[in-house]
Chains A and B, each alone.
Chain A
Amino acid sequence: MLFALVNGVVVGAMYGLFALGIVLVYRGTKVINFAAPALGSFGMYITWMLQAEQGVTWLAAAIIGILASGLVAILFERFIVRSMHDAPRLSVAVATIGLMLLLISVELFVWTGSPRALPPPIAGSGWSLFGVVLTPTKMLSVAVAIVLGVALTQFLRRTDFGLGVQAAAMDPTAVRLVGVRLSEVSTFVWGVGGMLAVVAALLVMPSIGGFAPGTVTAIFFVPSVAAALLGGLDDLSGAFVGGIVIGLVTSIAEWVRIEFSWQFPAVQLVAVFAVIVVVLLQAPDGVMTRLRVGLGGAR
């Protein structure tokens, strides 16, 4: 049980990172980026190629992989999203589906469908604490997620540019008047959104196992969108907390399945689905928003 809780927090932090990217893009451009996990996967393939085939060190390969996906996301923003400024937001969301399919097919073509594996960022068997094994990678994952999450929220709260990002979709005119360029905001959110996805994928995939084109999307798509929704889609810290909650839900469901030796496949996804439905029906603006309103606090 304790193991399930610890694991839930670790995986949840990764869901949170994906969700952070989705929320950031939504906040900046009112588009749900369905391609976020696919962008994570693409950067991970680049990292794998450099590390396993070219012999580049893990860290250097990872940085290049992260930048590569960031670049793809920025190019997508520059050439597709921006040319659709008058289009319905749903159509832009559909364009991100196009990007997702494109990335998956590029991966299939270049790296084929055979499963690949990346080593964890830090080797080592870790420490045992109350019977729970904490590998260095797990601790690193949580640390990175917290650092990135805090850094990003602080950046968005403390700088003019960050405030511009936060307000971009709500009041574009005001943002322009403050002197923040909307095109830069858009580039920023897409680029950072793409890079966050790679970071999450790199941290979490080694402990899950091998990956093939589409694996990251299959595993992370629904939980990370669910995490973003829990936070109300436009709330950064909400997305992160949502990620942890979803992580706990999945790992507790998994623990229950093993403990009671259920023969029910993918019970954790069923649990996430149940959470989504209940949350959406009870608090369509997101749990965080609901809590905040309930406590009488204003933003």
Chain B
Amino acid sequence: MTAMTASDTASRPAWRMALAAMPRWTRYLTVAVVLAALPVLLEATTGIPAVWYRIGGYAAVYAMAVLSLNLLMGYAGQISLGHTAFMAIGAYGAGLVTTKAGLSFVVGFMVATAIGALAALLVGLPALRLRGLLLAITTLGFLVVVVQSILQLRIVASGAVGATLARPEFGPVSLQHNAHYLAFLLIALVAMWALDANVMSSRLGRAFLGIREDEQVAASYGVDVARTKLLAFVLSGAMAGFTGAAYGHLLGQVQSTDFRLDLSLAMVAWVIIGGLGSRVGVVASGVLFGVFPFVFERLLSGGNVGFFAIVVGLLTATLGVAWLRANGRTSLPALGVVAGASIAMAGLFVAGVDPTGAGVRDFALIIGSAAFLITVAVNPNGFAGSVRERRDDAAAKQAKAQLRAGGIDTDDPTLPSLPVPAARHGHIELGTPVLEVRDVTVRFGGLTAVDRVSLTVPAGEIVGLIGPNGAGKTTLFDAIGGFNRPQAGTVGLLGRDLTAMAAHERAVAGLGRTFQRTGLAMGLSVRDNLLLAKHSLLTYDTLSALQHAPAVARAEADIAVRADEIISALGFQQYADLPVKYLSGGQRRIVEIACTLATAPDVLMLDEPTAGMAPAAVENLAERLRELRDVHDRTILLIEHHVPLVLDVCDHVYVMDHGSVIAYGTPDEILRDPAVLEAYLGERAARQAGLMGNVPDTEEVMV
């Protein structure tokens, strides 16, 4: 998704270059074969104890588990605290299917995947109405119900043993060997990774990121928020169900306690520590934190108490110093305290650990959870997050400096001529009504924000909508776009009735809008925003996206070219891969307009595009709007506070006050309308005498 710069490529080792040069599927196949061959060859040629392959198996299972959770939390932004529930369901399902019903290992995995997906769909349904922590708590409750109730049912569990899962033999390959089973798990892991990568290089993956960043913005690009959320749950649940079966076969027998709350919460932590949304980050942290206690215990069973006491001391010291550095307190006494604590921990280890006993594992857990605690505290955005942030900070600074050196104003940039795609429904006979709003009424409680407003936007015109603060302009925009539910009235586009449609369906039907607050996915790059805007113009389905089918590759390559054209037209090459949050307000405005244009709308609805713009930039915007109308025959509905701009570019103007249209006409007629002068321009003139500048239409209400 990110373009490589020359310096990136140069610093990469030869094997990574070779891999990157391969076609996608060859690459995954190569990695899978190499990884799977490793344990098999090691087992055949060396005498490494079988338990190490088992530990490797844990690593692979944890890696798959965090990939699944990362898809839901990292990409789609839906917190799941009960993810082990889906794993448990998969493991028990596979156990029932293989051991009780006597079906094959493969069928077991298929069933596990399917019921994991189904359970996740069920949990995802409340997610359509719940956000953030409230959703998280629902997932948590689901886990507790599954572990303590469903898995204890007599038809599900067989007594003290929850489920038994045997590993089969296929000729010379016996999955009963830990090394062979590890090989199988590694292949599965690569497959899951590939699936994840496929999703994320498709419109589905961008839709996930879009709803994570801003559901309204995503909907305005035609993303079906509800469907996308459910898909994230289903995909993640399927992955978790599969992982559960893999885990079950690794353990041989599972109990409900294998999926208990603290493992589930630990998985969440691994994903956050690794860095939400980073495949490499989460897998690394899942493997590291998940396997650490086993490795520690295993290494110590050799009896090197002294050696490990030193390791414990050093680890404590590292964590302590990391905390001190993050908090800027590396004074001598503080370091002394850390040194003392490290020695104390080492001493505690020696005193408390019986080298043959179970204390080792518990001590390892202490170290592991302390490490986890400090890591979160020192690095709240996760490892990958901090790395990304440092890199982006530097790149943003450099980009700004470069542009400044070239004499380009980064704070008040002007909107250049952009490549404009043809409107969705092609050329429309000039003058025929495109957007027709009839008697729309929006009430919030007792307040009527929009009162029986009707307006018509003819093809090839720029229609202005002005009015004092609180006149109801933005509320009307939301009603047209499907972002609120009007109590009465209809909205029609090109003769189609949009009234019953959701926001994303209206976007697909041809409405393109910008937001007063700047409607961009702030955490995504300029390029990804442009690609996200193309969402509804891509037609391939989810299954082809999962496989990264040739049609997907072609369509993606095509929109990538389009995005590049827009980026170079904007002169934003240096910013292309930076998150939008690094851009200045003016830069964001023009990127937003570019994104909305990229959706190829039949009507372009702009909500105060000049907010915060310098006079020269406003002048330039007027030119662009005229160009869109006169050269590209586009239809525009414009909300503006900047009255001169509206009078300058608009063909017709509606004036709203107190929720109603009080005047309509050409700019000349509006200027002469006494009602307008009294209700609007008078007040405006009075205000301008006292206080210059634009006041936002609706103040953001802090709750």
A→B interface (CB under 8 Å) = 32, 34, 79-80, 83-84, 86-88, 90-95, 97-102, 104-106, 108-110, 112, 214, 217-218, 221-222, 225-226, 229, 233, 263-267, 269-270, 272-273, 276-277, 280-281, 284
For A109, give the chain B residue with the smallest CB separation: B362
When C-beta atoms are compared, the residue in chain B nearest to A233 turns out to be: B133
Could you say which of B224-232, B370-378, B684-692 contacts chain A? B370-378
Q: Is the CB of A91 within 8 A of B272?
A: yes
Chain B residue numbers with a CB within 8 Å of A93 are: 133
CA distance A105 to B130 in the complex (A): 33
B618 vs chain A, min Cβ distance (A): 35
Q: Which residues of B contact A86 (CB under 8 A)?
A: 380
Among the stretches B36-44, B143-151, B495-503, the one at the interface with A is B143-151
Chain B residues, Cβ within 8 Å of A269: 144-145, 148-149
Flag whether B137 is at the interface (Cβ < 8 A).
yes
9 A–B contacts from the bound complex (CB under 8 Å):
A101-B269, A108-B362, A108-B365, A109-B363, A110-B352, A264-B153, A266-B149, A273-B144, A277-B126
- Which chain A residue has the least Cβ–Cβ distance from B363? A109
Tell me which residues across on chain A come within 8 A of B153, comparing CB atoms: 263-265
Q: Which of B458-475 contact A (CB under 8 A)?
A: none
Question: What 1/0 mask marks residues of chain B from 260 to 271 whose CB sits below 8 Å from any chain A CB?
Answer: 111001101100
Name which residue of chain B comes closest to A107, CB basis. Answer: B362
Knowing A229-B134, A269-B145, A277-B141, say if A99 contacts B126 (CB, 8 Å).
no
A99–B137 CB distance below 8 A: no
Judge whether A102 and B377 touch: CB under 8 Å.
no
CB of B11 closer than 8 Å to a CB of A: no
A225 partner residues in chain B, CB cutoff 8 A: 137, 140
A263–B150 Cα gap in the complex (Å)?
11
What is the chain A residue whose CB lies nearest that of B79? A90
Contact with B323, one of A83, A92, A284 (Cβ below 8 angstroms): A83
A97 CB contact (under 8 Å) in B154, B260, B266: B266
Contact of A98 among B137, B323, B358, B372 (CB under 8 A): B372
Given A88-B380, A218-B260, are A98 and B79 neighbors across the interface (CB < 8 Å)?
no
Partner of B373, one of A102, A221, A264, A277: A102
- CB-CB under 8 A for A79 and B144, given A101-B266, A264-B153: no
Q: Say whether, besides A90-B79, A95-B376, A277-B138, A109 and B272 are in contact (CB < 8 Å).
A: no
For B142, the chain A residues whose CB sits under 8 A away are 273
Q: Quick check: is B366 within 8 A (CB to CB) of the other chain?
A: yes
Whole-angstrom CA separation of A73 from B144 in the bound complex: 25
- CB pair A265 B79 closer than 8 Å: no
Task: Quote the shortest CB–CB distance from A299 to chain B (angstroms).
Answer: 13
Is B381 in the interface zone, CB < 8 Å from A?
yes
**Residue count of chain B within 8 Å CB distance of chain A:** 47
Task: Kindly state whether residue B326 has any CB partner on chain A within 8 Å.
Answer: yes
Q: Does B327 contact A (CB under 8 A)?
A: yes
- Measured in the bound complex, the distance between the Cα atoms of B153 and A84 in whole Å is 43
Please tell me if B487 contacts chain A, counting CB pairs below 8 Å.
no
Report B-chain residues with C-beta under 8 Å of the C-beta of A109.
Answer: 352, 359, 362-363, 365-366
Residues of A within 8 Å of B378, CB to CB, are: 83
Give A49 Cβ to nearest chain B Cβ, in Å.
Answer: 15
**B16 lies within 8 A of chain A by Cβ:** no
Q: Min CB distance, A179 to chain B, in Å?
A: 23
B584 within 8 A of A: no
Check if A105 sits within 8 Å of B369, measured CB to CB: yes
B516 interfacial contact with A, CB 8 Å: no
**Closest-CB distance, B345 to chain A (whole angstroms):** 12
Please, which residues of chain A bring their CB within 8 A of the CB of B377? 79-80, 83-84, 95
B527 smallest CB distance to A (angstroms) = 25
Measured CA separation A108–B378 after assembly (Å): 26
Residues 342-364 of B, flagged 1 when their CB comes within 8 A of A and 0 if not, give 00000000001000001100110
**Could you tell me the distance between the alpha carbons of A49 and B27 in the complex, rounded to whole angstroms?**
58
Please, which residues of chain B bring their CB within 8 A of the CB of A94? 268-269, 272-273, 376
- Check B129 for interface membership: any CB of A closer than 8 A: yes
A226–B392 CA distance with the chains assembled, in angstroms: 40
Cα distance A49–B366 in the bound complex, in angstroms? 20
The yes or no answer to B158 lying at the interface (CB within 8 A) is no
Q: Which residues of B contact A99 (CB under 8 A)?
A: 373
B74, chain A: closest CB distance, angstroms:
12
Check B376–A280 contact: CB distance below 8 A.
Answer: no
- Give chain A nearest CB distance to B456 CB in angstroms: 39
How far is it, in angstroms, between the C-alpha of A214 and the C-alpha of B126 when the chains are bound? 29
Q: Which residue of chain A has its CB nearest to the CB of B348?
A: A109
Residues from chain B with Cβ under 8 Å of A104 in the complex: 262, 365, 369
Q: Which of B141, B272, B362, B363 contacts A276 (CB 8 A)?
A: B141
Contact assessment for A105 and B137 in the assembled complex, using a CB-CB cutoff below 8 Å: no
Contact across chains for B145 and A105 when beta carbons are under 8 A apart:
no
Residues of A contacting B352 with CB < 8 Å? 109-110
- Residues A97 and B268 in contact, CB atoms below 8 Å apart: yes
Interface residues of B in 139-192 (CB under 8 A from A): 140-142, 144-145, 148-149, 152-154
Please indicate the chain B residues that have their CB under 8 angstroms from the CB of A108 in the complex.
362, 365
Verify B362–A105 contact, CB threshold 8 A.
Answer: yes
* Contact present for A101 and B369 (CB under 8 Å): yes
Contact A79 B323 (CB under 8 A): yes
B375: min CB distance to chain A, Å: 8
Which of B130, B140, B265 counts the most A-chain CB atoms under 10 A from its CB?
B265
Q: How far is the CB of A219 from the nearest CB of chain B, in Å?
A: 10
- Are B141 and A273 neighbours in the complex by a CB distance under 8 Å? yes
Q: Which residues of A lie under 8 Å from residue B323 when comparing CB positions?
A: 79, 83
